[in-house]
Each structure stands twice: as C-alpha cells, then as structure tokens.
C-alpha cells in the first residue's frame, strides 16, 4: 500500500434509516477489526438525513451534517458516498451522479436506482476510474453481486433464478402453514414490519423485478433493462391454490428467473409451482435465495437474509471494505462496457408444464368442452384434480389441471377459448411449473 492507501477512508452517509444506522453500528462495534483487515481506518465524516433531531441510538456529534444530501458529493473530506436514500430518481440519482463525476466512490443499496439507471451510472464510474458498488441492492446479506461479477466469472452463465422478495416468501409460507388467505396474512406481515403500509411494490413483484433486472445485467452483460421484465405478483394466489399445489407435490413461490433463449434475454417474475424437495422449495419465511447455473459450476445455491438492518448494512460495508483495500472492479462485470441493449425474448416463448385452476359450473358437458379445447390446441393433460359435485346443480366447483410441456403461446390461446365457455365461472388462473433443481 502507498502512504495514501494507509490514510483513513472517509465516508459520507446519505440516509439514516435502518441501513444507514446499521452501518454506523457496524463501524462502532467492528471498526478496529475492519481496520486490521484493510490496513486503514474507516470513518464517517459527514451525514445527511431528513431530521437532525431524531434519536437514532448512535452518536453523530463528531460528524458534519448536510441538509441537502447532494452537497455530500462536493465535500473535500469525503472519499466514498454511501447512498442509502432510495428511489430511482430525485436526490438519490443526483447525489450518485455528482459523486461519481467528482471522482468519489459510491456504494448504494438502491435497487430501483441501479435497475433504472445502472448502465449510465456504470459508464460514469468507469470513465472517472471510481467504484460503483451495489451488493446490498440485491438479496440483502447474500453476496450474489460479487459472486456474479467476480467469483464465478470464468463461467458462461445459463440461468439465474431465485426468491428475491422476503415479504412475498413470508406470506406464501404462512399461507401454506396456517391455511389462511392472502389478505389475512398480509395484515400480519405489515404488523411485523415485513411489509410496508403500501405493500404494492412487494406483493406486485416490482421489488423482485428490480433485483432480477440487475442480476440479468450482471450475468449476461447486456444493459440493465427493468422495462423488459415480465412481472406478475402474488395478490391473486389463494389458500386453495396453495393447498391444491401441495397435494400435487409443489409449493408456490414468487420466483425471478432470467436466461437467454435463442440469443434473446428472458426476464420474468411471478408465482410458480416448484417441486417439493428442491432447494428453492425449502426456502421459507423472509429468507431470500439465488441459484446460478454455469457451464463449469453446474449450479451454486445461495440462501440467506434478504433484508433488515444487519444483513443489508453488512453488504454495504463489504463494498466499502473492497474500496478500502483499493479494489475497483467494473460495476457491471465487463471491462470496456457491456454488450448494449439485449434482444428481448417474446413473453410467450416460455416452454414448460403449467398449473391451470378453473372454476367450472357443475353441469353436463363442461369438463368435456375444456378437454376438447386442450386437445384442439395440442396440449396434453398430465393430471387433474376435480372437487366433489356442487351441493346445488350449476354452482361452480374448482378443477385443477397440470399440463405436459407446451408453449405459453399455445396455452394462452386455449385459456382464451376456455374463458368464453358457458361453463366457465371465473377467470382461469395459470401458473408455470418450474423445473429448477430437477
């Protein structure tokens, strides 16, 4: 190390919420350990947050305060800016852009910012010769960003998939274990702090889609393209779906998956049926998991806490420690920039088996009409569950079909035809069946 390398690394923290306070606690408790591991002290010199007067349980008396977080980017006593504000635009984006342009390293936990603007920000970081690190933006305490852009880079990646939102995983786990329906479990998740007052980003799949877009960019080298992610949430999953899936040997999980299909990049987030006994099916509660498939590793599976003060702050500090050691790697893993925009895979290109949940009126000919439609579209049925007959003739009863492998395009045409049947009483629910781990 040079003399400069032994000087303290000076941090500015923008945002003193859960993660920002967690960073301060880590430095307070493990500062000497971190200095021993990096060969230099790491200290906070300036902060910014909405309120100066709030009691955060940490001592801020020795640090400078900026009311405007963007002002941190111009301070002479700052080497690294930690952007922990959140949001894809506004102050977060302005701060990161100015910090990079001022040749300051940036560490962020902001998945929305990287998902929407990662390619442009990476270009600035490379041009200025500084780090743009975002381990904490994906899967909390799981070191998946570093794994994809460093440890596993000798591999040609085939597919990356996983459980990327702890809120949804908690809800689906509780629905299975207690038999309660979605709305009831969501209230519990909010009371426990696992879900926000407005949970739409989580349960609607947007949070997982931000993370998946980042993983896709890292794995395949194309520009991060959040708008190309096919997104579905878990709001329509019922306790009946959970129970029926279980009886068929599956669990329902919100899965994000990305791969190349004939040179086009597929990115999809949505509920899927995963077979019992596979590693991804056994991830419960608020935990996250990511699987990486590569030509020389076969598969690596990562599981751990996906959010929270400690795990996320730990990921932030891992990025800071890299900078303290003088390690600056290309933000998206490719020297000289990425491959540019990807060709987007057709949303109907998915090939596989599907779970089809129908509500059919209990009347003669209804089921025969459904099977005829499947036959007309060359879709074969692997198994079927049909409830007992309705107490009142003509009332709807649930019917679940598991198809053999087919294309999403073909199935969609068949489902459209089934929706128009007189016997059909509700919008059919279709979920893909994963082959992960088989």
Give the model confidence (pLDDT) of 225-234 as tens digits: 999 999 999 9
Same domain, 86 and 194: no
For residue 254, the cross-strand partners are: 271
Residue 235's nearest CA partner among 190, 194, 200, 187 is 200
Residues 6+ apart with CB under 8 A from 352: 405, 406, 432, 433, 434, 435
279 and 170 in a common domain: yes
Do 120 and 184 fall within a single domain?
no
Q: What share of the chain is helix, strand, coil (3-state, %, to 5)?
A: 40, 25, 35
Q: What is the DSSP string of 353-366?
A: -EEEEEEEESSTTH
Catalytic site includes residue 211 = yes
Mean pLDDT, rounded, for 2-20 = 87
Q: Is the pLDDT of residue 108 over 60?
A: yes
Mean pLDDT over each residue of the chain, to the nearest integer: 92
Question: What's the pLDDT at 393?
Answer: 60
Indicate whether 76 and 115 sit together in one domain. Answer: yes
Same domain, 271 and 355: no
pLDDT at 160 over 70: yes
- The vertex-49 CA angle with 46 and 55, nearest 5°, equals 95
Domain assignment present for 271: yes
CATH number of the domain residue 422 falls in? 3.30.70.260
- Look at residue 181 and tell me if it is in a domain: yes
In a domain, 147, yes or no: no
Phi, psi values for residue 346, rounded to 5°: -60, 135
Burial (0-12, 13-18, 19+ Cβ within 10 Å), 196: middle
Q: Are 55 and 160 in the same domain? A: no
Pick the closest to residue 13 from 59, 64, 52 (CA basis).
64
Whether residues 162 and 263 fall in one domain:
yes
- Whether 172 and 132 share a structural domain: no
Active-site hit among 104, 111, 146, 211: 211
Domain shared by 180 and 212, yes or no: yes
Are 291 and 249 members of one domain?
Answer: yes
Contacts 24+ apart (CB under 8 A), 234-238: 234/168, 234/171, 234/172, 234/182, 234/203, 234/205, 234/271, 235/182, 235/203, 235/204, 236/429, 237/172, 237/175, 237/182, 237/271, 238/181, 238/182
Percent of the chain at pLDDT exceeding 70: 96
Entry pTM = 0.93
| pLDDT greater than 70 at residue 125 | yes
Domain that includes residue 200, residue range: 152-306
Sign of CA dihedral 232, 235, 238, 239: positive
pLDDT in tens, 28-59: 999 999 999 999 999 999 999 988 888 888 88
Give the CA distances from residue 122 to residues 28, 131, 135, 254, 333, in Å, rounded to whole numbers and listed in that order.
31, 9, 14, 29, 10
- Give the number of domains in the chain: 3
Whether 410 maps to a domain, the answer reads yes
Give the CATH number of the domain where residue 38 resides: 3.40.50.720
Residue that the structure tokens 């991804």 belong to = 280
Q: What is the pLDDT of residues 357-402, one digit of tens each?
A: 999 988 888 899 999 999 999 999 999 887 665 555 667 888 999 9
With respect to residue 323, please indicate whether it lies within any of the assigned structural domains: no
The pLDDT, as a whole number, for residue 394 is 61
Residue 438 lies in a domain: no
- Whether pLDDT at 213 is above 70: yes
- Among left, alpha and beta (phi > 0; psi -120 to 50; other), residue 86 is left
Stated length of the chain: 438
* pLDDT of 4 above 70: no
């Amino acid at each position: 190390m040079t003399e400069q390398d032994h000087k303290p690394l000076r941090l500015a923290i923008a945002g003193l919420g859960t993660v920002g306070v967690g960073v301060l606690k880590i430095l307070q408790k493990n500062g000497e350990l971190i200095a021993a591991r990096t060969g230099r002290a790491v200290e906070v010199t300036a902060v910014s947050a909405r309120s100066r007067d709030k009691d955060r349980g940490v001592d801020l008396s020795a640090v400078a305060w900026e009311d405007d977080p963007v002002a941190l980017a111009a301070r002479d006593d700052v080497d690294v800016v930690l952007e922990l504000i959140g949001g894809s635009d506004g102050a977060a984006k302005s701060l990161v852009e100015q910090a990079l342009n001022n040749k300051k390293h940036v560490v962020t936990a902001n998945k929305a910012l990287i998902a929407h603007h990662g390619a442009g920000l990476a270009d600035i970081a490379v041009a200025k010769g500084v780090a743009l690190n975002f381990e904490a933006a994906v899967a909390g305490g799981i070191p998946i960003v570093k794994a994809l852009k460093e440890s596993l880079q000798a591999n040609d990646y085939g597919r990356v998939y996983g459980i990327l939102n702890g809120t949804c995983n908690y809800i689906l786990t509780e629905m299975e274990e207690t038999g309660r329906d979605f709305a009831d479990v969501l209230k519990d998740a909010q009371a426990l702090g696992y879900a926000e007052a407005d949970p739409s980003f989580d349960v609607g799949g947007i949070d997982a889609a931000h993370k998946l877009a980042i993983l896709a960019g890292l794995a395949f080298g194309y520009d991060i393209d959040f708008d190309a992610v096919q997104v579905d949430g878990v709001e329509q999953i019922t306790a009946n779906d959970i129970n029926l899936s279980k009886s068929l040997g599956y669990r329902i999980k919100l899965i994000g998956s990305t791969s190349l299909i004939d040179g086009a990049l597929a990115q999809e987030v949505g509920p899927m049926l995963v077979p019992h006994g596979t590693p991804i099916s056994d991830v419960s509660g608020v935990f996250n998991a990511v699987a990486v498939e590569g030509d020389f590793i076969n598969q690596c599976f990562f599981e751990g806490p996906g959010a929270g003060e400690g795990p996320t702050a730990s990921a932030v500090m891992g990025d800071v420690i890299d900078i303290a050691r003088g390690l600056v790697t290309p933000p998206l893993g490719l020297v000289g920039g990425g491959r540019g925009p990807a060709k987007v895979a057709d949303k109907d290109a998915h090939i596989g088996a599907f779970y089809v949940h129908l509500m059919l009126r209990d009347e003669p000919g209804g089921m025969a009409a459904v099977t005829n439609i499947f036959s007309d579209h060359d879709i074969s049925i692997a198994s079927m569950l049909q409830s007992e007959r309705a107490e009142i003739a003509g009332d709807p009863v649930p019917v679940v079909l598991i198809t053999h492998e087919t294309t999403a395009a073909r199935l969609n045409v068949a489902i459209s035809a089934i929706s128009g049947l007189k016997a059909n009483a509700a919008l059919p629910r279709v979920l893909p069946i994963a082959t992960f781990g088989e």
